[in-house]
Structure 1
Amino acid sequence: MSNFVQLEINERNRWVYFTNYRWVAHLVYWIWVLIVSTIMPAKGPITPSLVFNHFFLSNIVIATFFYLYCLYFIPYFFKRNKNMQFWILLILSYFVIVAIDIFFGRAFVHLTDPVEIDRHLSFSRIYFSKLVSYLLNFFFFSIMLFFMEKNEEDSTLLELEKEKKEIEQVKLDLLKTNINPDFLMRSLHQLKESAKIPEETTPEAILTFSDLLRYRLYRGRQLYSPLKEELFAFQSFVHFIGLDHLHHQLHIKFAVQGLDDDKYIAPLSLVNLLEIFCKATNPNEVLLEIIVLIESDELHLEMQYGSDVTAQLLTDLEEYQSNYSQLYGDAIKLHAERAEKDHTFFVRLTLPLLEKQVLAQSV
């Protein structure tokens, strides 16, 4: 099962959970009303007629008012900042539905237990009593609704934060597994061929390539990697290419300026970039000069590729920038240009750095 499918299932389960939670809360509320307003005051036996009249018919109009408020007024007016319309409709429905409740009760509801309703009371007296009853029930219902919404909001924020981290991890996993299959198979084939030749550098090349794959596997799953480890992996990559001089036409000069202590960087950001140039095939020997400048919050990398650029190389660089921009936004800056004079190609890259203290606060 893919990670994206799992995220979709999590979202569906979260929606089902909150839906069920709402219905359970409402069910508990109406069971409480049944017990307090019908069962406890009853003097005689609890018959279906008693429940039907004293609970169902007596509360059907007020329930209509509550759910009109809950399912229509709040989502379509209050949450859309139509405050004036919300309060006008709420107040009008409050006064109108109370009157409807009185006429409905006189026509259809037969209350006999514990005290039969006095139908000779004036309309105004019953109306005033109903207004107070509606208001008290409305306050209680609103408080319950507020805590339900608050709890759902807090839970939703936690779930969204969790899913955001899961999505970032999925993207990191994609970057981790984004090693070029052609480059991997070619390197393994070259190591196999080198092993047939009794050279002193062959065991070292195999161990170095193994270290690179191990770094990709373990550090690639993290949002940030220590800059010292990323540079070490990058230097190991350069060293591996130098050891395999029989098959690689790429010669690399690499220099670092600045301190890499207590700084963190996007994992594999340098290794993946170098892999793009290793993938590029060239019949002639090509010199690749790389300079890394480490500043307080940024890493600047400049590459001078001593050959003309191919369409595939430009496409791979665009894909590299797109992948890392999804994770780190506009902080990733990549600029490539061709020098028409000597047919060389320049790449300038800026990557964000985090210090150890800042990273600890953000985690």
Structure 2
Amino acid sequence: MEATLPLQKHKSGIKTAWIIFWHLFFWMAIISFFVFLARINDAQLTSKELTVIFLLYPVINISLFYLNYLVFIPNFLNKKRYWLYAGIVLISIIAYGFFKYGVGLIFKDIVLVHQKGHVISFATYFYSSIFTSLIFVFLSTALKFSTDWFLNERIQRDLENQRLSAELAFLKSQINPHFLFNSLNSIYSLAYQRSETTPEAILKLSEIMRYMLYECNDTKVDLSKELQYLQNYIDLQKIRFGAKAFIDFKVDGNITNQKIEPLLLIAFIENAFKHGVANDITSPIKLLINVADGKLHFYIQNKKHTLNRDAVGGIGLINVQRRLNLLYPDRYKLNIRDEENTYTCELSIDL
């Protein structure tokens, strides 16, 4: 914490310095542009005239710009003290009008006298000054509101990203205990039956857990590793069912150099083994994964258990559908068909 605070202050100082730099750059560019135009139109302008017209008066108007931008808006308008804000702005504009006219009297020959020798009246100059001041007040208000809007949008976007990240972390954390619970139940059954395949099942489970704990921390993983993880899970189920496990698992297409969000597909396979029939040779679990043109097509179908027809889905599929909405918005299609004797899931993802 002690090291973080100075770092945050340093970053804030750098950001403030950049803002000041760009503001100065903008005003210098504007003033230089008008000086350039004035030089083109009248090459006989003296340095004193250029200083008064294009430096002194712009600085006065710019000071009103920042008085409104940094003081009036934050302290009055943003706090919904609208009438007080309007009154202070009006008084400031009038005061600036008198002040600029006073400066004009000092440089009368430059400011108040036309080239034909006609002297500008106080009323004419004052109205012109008010109009100019209103423009700078409007510009500062527009800039303040636009920058505040963009800042609020960025804050809201950051908060939303943080919320989504936290929700994804929570959803992902649910997978491990859910998967572990199901797998331990399978191994318990083998141990209870004193099966010789129990050590092999424990070894497969350790490989699966190693992948889930150490290789799934990145936002995306290699598709080949994810498919190997699915294969290990299927092998674990085959050990559980022994010779009575029937699953038709095929992978087509080029899976190299492809990435996918981890632990997305396992829920569908878990659901097929948990709620479906895996020991019917005439109706094996069908699992097909095809990768082509940057898309992954996932298909799984299982025969429904006659004694467990309504107990499909559960936390696994609800979890994966929510993760798909967060991770692949408008980039996936999920079709689930819950028919009388079969349960089918088809998923298409833009990798």
2:218 alignment counterpart:
222
Q: Distance in 2 between matches of 1:241 and 1:95?
A: 80
Name the CA shift for 1:166/1:302 in 2 (closer, same or farther; >3 Å).
same
CA contact (8 A) 1:332 1:352 kept: yes
Cα gap change, 1:310/1:180 in structure 2, threshold over 3 Å: closer, same or farther? farther
Aligned equivalents of 1:313 and 1:303: distance in 2?
14
Q: 1:311 maps to what in 2?
A: 310
Aligned-pair RMSD on alpha carbons? 5.3
* Residue aligning to 1:261: 256
Q: 1:302 aligns with which of 289, 295, 299?
A: 299
Q: Quick one: structure 1 residues 192 and 305, their matched pair in 2 at CA, closer, same or farther if it must change by over 3 Å?
A: closer
Normalising by structure 2, report the TM-score.
Answer: 0.55
Partner of 2:345: 347
Q: Does 1:273 align with 2:271?
A: no
1:42-121 map, 5 Å: 67-68=71-72, 97-99=92-94
Q: Map Cα deviations across residues 240-283 of structure 1 (whole Å, 9 max, x no partner).
A: 1001126x976322111111010111211112221222332769
The verdict on how the C-alpha distance between 1:336 and 1:219 changes in structure 2, with shifts beyond 3 A counting, is same
Query: What is the CA deviation profile of residues 195-220 of structure 1, one whole-angstrom value per residue up to 9, with x for unaligned ones?
Result: 46665432221111112122222344
Query: Which ranges of 4 or more aligned residues in structure 1 deviate by more than 3 Å?
Result: 62-76, 92-103, 145-157, 159-169, 180-183, 192-200, 218-221, 248-251, 281-286, 308-312, 314-319
- Residue 148 (structure 1) shift: 11
* Equivalent residues of 2:68, 2:89 under 8 A apart: no
Q: Is the 8 A contact 1:292 1:299 kept in 2?
A: yes
TM-score, length basis structure 1: 0.54
Deviations 1:163-211 (A, max 9, x none): 5554443233223222275653342244245346665432221111112
Which amino acid in structure 1 is aligned with residue 293 of structure 2? S
Are 1:288 and 2:280 an aligned pair? no
- After superposition, the Cα gap between the structure-2 partners of 1:214 and 1:93, relative to the gap in structure 1 and judged at 3 Å, is same
Gapped regions of structure 1 (runs ≥ 5): 1-13, 26-61, 77-88, 104-122, 354-363
- Distance in 1, matches of 2:69 and 2:221, equals 57
Q: State the distance in 2 between where 1:65 and 1:142 align.
A: 5
The match for 2:166 is 170
CA shift for structure 1 position 231? 0.5
Counterpart CA distance in 1 for 2:95 and 2:257 is 72
Structure 2 match to 1:358: none
Residue pair 1:227, 1:261 contacting (<8 A) in 2 also: yes
CA gap 1:195/1:272 in 2 versus in 1, 3 angstroms: same
| CA shift for structure 1 position 156 | 7.3
Percent identity over the alignment is 23
Deviation sequence 1:128-177 (CA, Å, 0-9, x none):
5xx59x959x68x959x9699869957974x6665555444323322322
Q: Does the C-alpha gap of structure 1 residues 300 and 98 become closer, same or farther in structure 2, counting only changes over 3 Å?
A: closer
C-alpha distance 65-331 of structure 1, shift in aligned 2 (>3 A) = closer
Moved more, 265-274 or 188-197: 188-197
Closer, same or farther in 2 for the Cα pair 1:288/1:215, shift >3 Å? same
Q: Which amino acid aligns with 1:211?
A: E
User: Which residue does 1:244 correspond to in 2?
Assistant: 240
Asked if the contact 1:334–1:348 (Cα under 8 Å) also holds between the matched residues in 2, the reply is yes
Q: Which one is further off, 210-219 or 298-307?
A: 210-219
Take 1:242 and 1:225, find their aligned partners in 2: how far apart are those partners? 25
Residues 249 and 71 from structure 1, CA distance in 2 versus in 1: closer, same or farther, beyond 3 angstroms?
farther
The CA distance in 2 between the partners of 1:333 and 1:174, in whole Å, is: 23
2:273 aligns to what SS in structure 1?
helix
